Chain A
Amino acid sequence: MVFTRFVEVGRVVMINYGPSAGKLATIVDIVDSNKCLVYGPTTDVPRQVITFRRIALTDLKCNVGRGAKAAALKKAWKADGIEEAWKASSWARKLARKEARKNLGDFDRFKVMVARKQKSKIVAAKMKSMKA
């Protein structure tokens, strides 16, 4: 089993639980086998010690030194294009899709239903033509 996501200084993580849940942060230092120091100045995550159980590692990594402060972190995030890379990732797109679906109003849900019916009509017609 080859591992590609590591707990390391600079690793971008998604916080799963707690007051900063749903936000991205960077691992700034590793405290011990269960905890690390994370910080997200651009994403409103205060500098804090957090357990690995409350974070999920992402594929993204930014280039910061150990114990980096706000200015260095912001610079590294910008230089490595973390925000754009995150938004383009399928993980972020799935979260956005979930969020959009959760916030649909009744009329939006009606429009979705109509669109799905149109799509299935096209697919069925194509299937029929392929079978023939």
Chain B
Amino acid sequence: PFPSFSRPPLPPPPPFPYTHIMTVCGPMKQYQVVGRKAPTEAFPNPEAYRMIIFAPNKVIARSKFWYFMQQFRKMKKTTGEIIDVNEIVEKNKNQVKNYGIWLRYDSRSGTHNMYREYRDLSLCGAITQLYDEMAGRHRTRPRSIQIIRTAEIAASDCKRPDTLQFVSKDQKFPLPHRVDSAKRGQKALSDTTFSVGRPTTCFR
């Protein structure tokens, strides 16, 4: 008999709302990375620099720190040291907020600046939405995206029609033509595979 290979059990699927994230490493987190050039005899106390980095984990955050620091200053991983990496946790995950994100991305023919808006409970949720949407709409890989600036914006400062739609507190709309299949985390339309009559899709 052939030797049986036992695979380690797959990790449990991430709880909702992270099942829809396309980025392989999972949801983005916000890190504060502080680093400086390695101290030498000549310069025992070099200036420290702090960056806010959005990354799925600390390892990638550190790597991204050096990626940016090399561009801005004469500093690289071999000549420098990271002093501290801290995750910045969202203060209030219970209210929906509007986020404006300024980014720079490489397309197939050039590099462009962009401003996008997202509604989400947390900044990291908005950034995750950004990466997924840029991948979907512009085929941009995460490596081609640089987040320039993020801000929580007031409802009156929102520019994009998609966000403006949901900014007012009296917004209401029905759910016409509901089509639910058993895919993608929905209740199936019917308990049985075959049914005599067509299902209703309108629930007033």
> A-side interface residues toward B, CB under 8 Å?
1-9, 16-18, 21, 29-33, 35, 37, 47-54, 56-57, 65-67, 69
In the bound complex, residues from chain B placing their C-beta under 8 Å from that of A37 are: 96, 121
**Cα A47 to Cα B95 with chains together (Å):** 10
Decide if B16 touches A7 in the complex (CB within 8 Å): no
Q: Does B91 contact A (CB under 8 A)?
A: no
Dominant secondary structure of chain A at its interface with chain B: loop
Given contacts A5-B204, A17-B185, A57-B203, contact A29 B95 (CB under 8 A): yes
Given contacts A30-B166, A31-B96, A47-B94, contact A5 B174 (CB under 8 A): yes
Give 4 new A-B contacts, CB below 8 A, not counting A31-B166, A33-B166.
Answer: A7-B173, A29-B95, A48-B17, A51-B185
Contact of B174 (CB < 8 Å), options: A3, A18, A31, A47 = A3
Q: Total contacts A to B, CB within 8 angstroms?
A: 75
Q: Does B172 contact A (CB under 8 A)?
A: yes
Decide if A54 touches B119 in the complex (CB within 8 Å): no
| Distance of B178 from chain A, by nearest CB (Å) | 8
Contact of A18 (CB < 8 Å), options: B16, B94, B204 = B16
What class of interface size applies to chain B in its complex with A? 20 to 34
Q: Does B4 contact A (CB under 8 A)?
A: no
Decide if A49 touches B175 in the complex (CB within 8 Å): no
Interface residues of B in 152-204 (CB under 8 A from A): 162-163, 165-166, 169-176, 180, 184-187, 202-204
Closest residue on chain A to residue B96 by CB atoms: A29
Contact of A3 (CB < 8 Å), options: B171, B180, B187, B204 = B204
Decide if A16 touches B187 in the complex (CB within 8 Å): yes
Contact of B172 (CB < 8 Å), options: A7, A29, A32 = A7
Decide if A56 touches B174 in the complex (CB within 8 Å): no
Q: Does B120 contact A (CB under 8 A)?
A: yes
| Distance of B122 from chain A, by nearest CB (Å) | 10
Given contacts A3-B176, A5-B174, A31-B166, contact A54 B186 (CB under 8 A): yes
